[in-house]
Structures are given as structure tokens and as C-alpha cells.
Amino acid sequence: MSLSLLILGGTSEGYALAAALDSAPGLRVISSLAGRTATPRRPAGACRIGGFGGIDGLGAYLATERIDAVIDATHPFASTMGWNAAAACDKAGVPLLRLERPAWVAGDYDRWAEVDDWQEAAGILDYAANRVLLALGRQDLDAFTPLRHLWFLIRSVDAPDPLPPFAHAEVLLARGPFSLDSERALLGAQAIDTIVCKNSGGTATDAKLTAARELGLRVIMRRRPKRPPLPTAATPDEAVTWVERLRGQAR
């Protein structure tokens, strides 16, 4: 029996899952990307780009495309999509799995301050930083513009358009993964004393945390937002097992 699967993607795990399932017989896989970057990498197999229009829009898509199962492999901070997917799948009676990489955990020699929002992060920077690497994407910058006495290095895949009114800032366009050597060199050359980032987890961008530990730099880490309680897989292989189990039940 064939099965139609929708992957809400955009993460490395979503790409890996699409590649692993692309050639599976009797399985139709569609990946959906939010389209927030100008030139998104296309996953293996079929792909759609853009939003659904909330819970009702996603529900209509599930019905129109006759989707049998959904895997939410969106970024850990794409919480709105996560809640919408849970509501739409629950309403449609479609099984939903959350594929999410484990969060980073501070070690004994890390100098982390964990926060729940960017305003809290800005409050810490106001009295405890001079030169800051903002490694958090172009859509989360506004909270830091009032800090007129600080210098910021803004690292982003796409250029902020427009750039918020920072007093002192430089934009670095770059896409991970980043090596430990390159992160050491960047932090040293720019005399960075504080890194601000999200707890994205994974290995593509964790080298900055190792470099910060080695250099004794402060890290302000935003905690992940709450997600709906769902069956969860930590790796694409675990998600593949879940899909195979569904297929077995459908036979």
C-alpha cells in the first residue's frame, strides 16, 4: 500500500530524511520549505515553498494532497509552525512526528547565560559586553538596536533588508557548517567578547560554542520555545523507522 508523507523541512535533519526516503517504493514524499531564505537548498524529491495560511490552510493541503502522515522537521524555534501542524493533524486525524535534534547543554567550563527572549539578552549585554557576535538570523535583530554603545557583528545567511538602525555594526553573510578553526579565527580577529545565539542544537554551528569555551567568552543562549507534546525522533534514522512502522500498519 502506498503512503503519502509531508515533511515540514528546512533543517539538515529534514534534508537527510527526504534523501533517505526519496527512493523508497510505495512512498510519496513532499518536503515543504518556509522560503525565508532567498536561495533555499532544495531537498530530494518533491518540494513546495511557502506558508500554508495557518491551521486551516495546512488542513486543506493535507486533504487536497491526501497526506497520510506528517513529520515536523522544522527548526527548533519555528514554534508557530509546530503548533499549527499539531492542530491541523489532530483535526484531520493524520499521524504527526516531531523530528528534532537534541539541544546543546552547557559544560563545566562554558560561560552561558540562558534567556527566554531577546529583550532579556539585550539587558545582559547592556552591562556585560563590548563586541558582540549576533549569530541568530536576520529576523531577530531589533531588540539589540537600543544598545548604542556596543559593536555588533551580525552573521546571517541573507542580508537584513533593511538593516535595523544599529549605531555600530557589520554584517557577515555566511552559511554553516563552520569549522572550529574558522570560528577561532573569526572571534579572535574581531575581538568578540560575547556571542548571542539560539539553542538550535546540531553540529553545523556548534563550533562557535567550542571556540567560546576555549577563549573564555560569554555566550547568551536563548532557550527553545515550548512545543506541543508529540511523539519525537532525535535522528532521521529514527524518523525512517517511524515511517516504516506506519507503512507496516497500513498493509
The pLDDT of residue 248 is: 80
The pLDDT of residue 167 is: 96
The pLDDT of residue 93 is: 97
The pLDDT of residue 38 is: 66
**Cell numbers representing residue 181 in the block:** 578553526
DSSP 143: G
**Number of CB atoms found within 10 A of residue 124's CB:** 15
The pLDDT of residue 245 is: 92
Name the packing angle between helices 236-250 and 12-21 (round to 10°): 40
The pLDDT of residue 203 is: 84
Distance CA 59, CA 32 (A): 14
Distance CA 29, CA 176 (A): 26
Distance CA 165, CA 222 (A): 22
Phi, psi of 149 (to 5 degrees): -90, -5
Q: Which residues of the chain have pLDDT under 70?
A: 1, 38, 250-251
Helix (DSSP H) and strand (DSSP E) numbers for the chain: 7, 12
Q: What is the pTM of this model?
A: 0.87
